[in-house]
Structure 1
C-alpha cells in the first residue's frame, strides 16, 4: 500500500490529528511496533493475549508511529473513526492499498488450510524458500484477528508474489465480505467439512459458500473437489469451474485426476503415508496451476518440494527413535479424522493418537468426537483423549507423565498429536522439547 494518513482520513471519512505521514505497512500487534518507518498501527479490542491495544497507545505507541483508532486522540498522528476494521477494509479496497498486478487467490477449507495456501502459492509461481509455520493456529495468527486477515493481507502484500489468503468462515457474513474485498482471480473450495456443517448445518454451509461465490467476479476460476458439483454448480456458473479427485490405485499409490475446463488428466502424486494428509491440498494446488496454464515439471517439483518441507516441519524424532507427528494445526473434526487416517495407513511398530478437543461449533455432537477414537481403535491405533472428550474413552491423566511414556515407546513407534486444549499442548511442548535438532 502507499497512502498518507490524510488520504486515509479523506477516503474513510474519518478525522485526522497531527502531521500527515506516509504509510506503507499496517500492524495490529503492538509487538511489531519497533520504530519502523512508514508503519501504521491499527488499534482495536481483541481477545487475549493481544488485548485492547488502544490502551497501550499513550505511553508506548502514539508518539512513535501514526495510528488508526476508535478512541480520542492521545498525541502523534491519528486517523480517528468509528471502526478500525471498516477503515482497513476501505483502504484495502482502494487502488492505493491493493498489490498492483499480484495474482489473488481465496481459500476455503477446514483441513489444513494454511498448508493448502502454501502449496497454492508455490504452484502459482511463488517463492519456495519462505518459512513454513506448522503447529497450533495461534502460532500463525493472533487469536481473534480473523476479521482482519484479508484486509491486512492485501495492504501488506508486495506485487511480485501471488497472494493466497484463507477466507474467514468462522463469523457469519465475513466469508462473502472477504471474497468481495479480495476479488480473487482463483477461488479454491477445498472441502465442505464437518466443522462448517457442525457450526451452521448443511444448509447454512451451502448458503455461506453461495455467498462467497456470489461475491466473486464472472471470470474467477473456481477449483473444487470432484463430488461437489451437484451442490455448487448452480452458483458457480458462469465462472470457469475445475475439479480434482484424490484416490488410491491398486498399487497403493495416491492418485490425482484433474478436470480443467473439460480437459482431463490423471497421474500419481509423489507422496507417502506421512505426507498423505497433504494429498487434498496438493490436488487443489496442481488443479489451480493447470487452470492458469501453469503445468509441467517445474510446477510439480515446486509442489512436491513444499509438501516435503511442510511434512518435515511437522515430523520430529525423539532420541529413542519415536517419531512425533505434530498435527496440532488440526483443530476441526475433519482435520483430526484426516490426521488419524494418515497414521492408520502408516506401517509402524506402535501407533498412538493423542487427541485434544476440537473447536467445531456448539452443534458438534459429542458422539462425533468419540467416533474419531473409535476409528483409531479399529485401525490398531491407541487413541487417548487429552481433555474435553466424552465418556467411554481413555483419558490422559497427566500430560508430562504421558509424554515421558510416549517418548519411551521404542524405536519405530509413531505418535500423532491433533486437536486443541491445554493438555494436548502440554504433551506437545514436552515431546518437542526432547526432539532431536533438525538438520
Structure 2
C-alpha cells in the first residue's frame, strides 16, 4: 500500500544522497557557483563604469553648457571639425544671452613641454580668467591667469599637479620656467587635482592666456580669425540651462547665417549623462547576459548529473516504489536534490562575486558596486534554474517501472 512520505523525510533522504556523493555534488555546484559569481561581478563592473562616468561628468557642473564646432553628423563620420566657432561668438553669447552668467572660450592643442633635460607631451589650453570659475577648478599654489595676463599676452602658465610631478618630480614647480614650442613661460600657479574626463587626465594639462595662445602657439585662422576649440558657458542657475541652450542656439544660427543643418552643437551635463547612461546601461545588460549564459550552463550541468544519478540509482528507485513510495515522492526527492545543489551553489557564487566586486573597487579606478536587489534576484534565479533543470530527471525517475528496476538487482 502506497503511503505519503513526510517532506522532512524526503528532504533527509535527498541530503543523505548528496552527502554520499560529495565530490560529484561539489562539481555539479561548480557551474552554478561560476554562473552566479560571473553575473554579480560583471554587473558590478558595469555599474562601476557607469558610476565612474557619472562622477567625472558631475565635475563639469550642473549649469554648464559646452558649445562645440561641428554637428552630430560630422562627429559620427569623423570629419575634421570646422573652425567657424570664433572668439566673437563667445563675446556675443556673453553680451546678448540674458540667461548666461559667464563665458569661457578655449583653444586647446597638444604640444611638447620642456624643462631642462625633461620633456613631455601635454594638452595646452588658451583660456581666460573666467575658466577657473565656469569649470569649477581650484588653485593649489600661486594664482590663475588674470585679465592683465590676457590683455598683455604674457608668457605665464598654470599647470596641473600631475604635470608638475612629471616635470619636477619632488621639486616645487611654482616660479620655474618651461618651454612650449620655442617660447619660455613662467609657472605662476598649480591646480588642485581634478581627475579625468572621458580618458583625458585634466591634472596633466597646462593653461596659458588665450591671447598668448593665439599670438605665440596656434595663430589665427586666415578665414575665420580666432577659432576656438569650444566655449564653456555658465548659466545663471541649473533651471535656466534649458533656456540658455535655446537662446545660444538661436544666436549662433543667426550669426552663422544657418538655414539648414547647424555647424555647431550645444551640449549640457544632462545630455552627456543621458548618452553615458544609455551606453553604460547597455554594457551592463550585455555583461549580465554573458553571466546569465554561465548560469544556464550550470543548470544544464545539474540536469546532466541528475540524469546520470537516475540511471545509477535505478535499483534504489525500484525498491522504494516496491515498498510503497509514490511517483510524487520520487520526483520530489530529485527536485529537492536539484534545489539544494543550485541554492548552495548560488550562495557560494554570490559570496565569490561580492568579494570580486570589492577587489575590483579596491585595485582599479572603477567604483564597482552591486545592489542587494541584484544579489537577491541572482540567488532566486539560480534556485529557479535548479528546479527547472531538475524537472526532467525527476520525471524520468518517477516514471521508472519498479518491476523492471528490480530485475536489475
TM-score by structure 2 length? 0.22
> Which structure exhibits the higher relative contact order, with contacts defined as CA atoms closer than 8 Å and separated by 6 or more residues?
2
TM-score by structure 1 length? 0.20
Q: Rg larger in 1 or in 2? A: 2
**Which structure has the highest helix share of the two?**
2
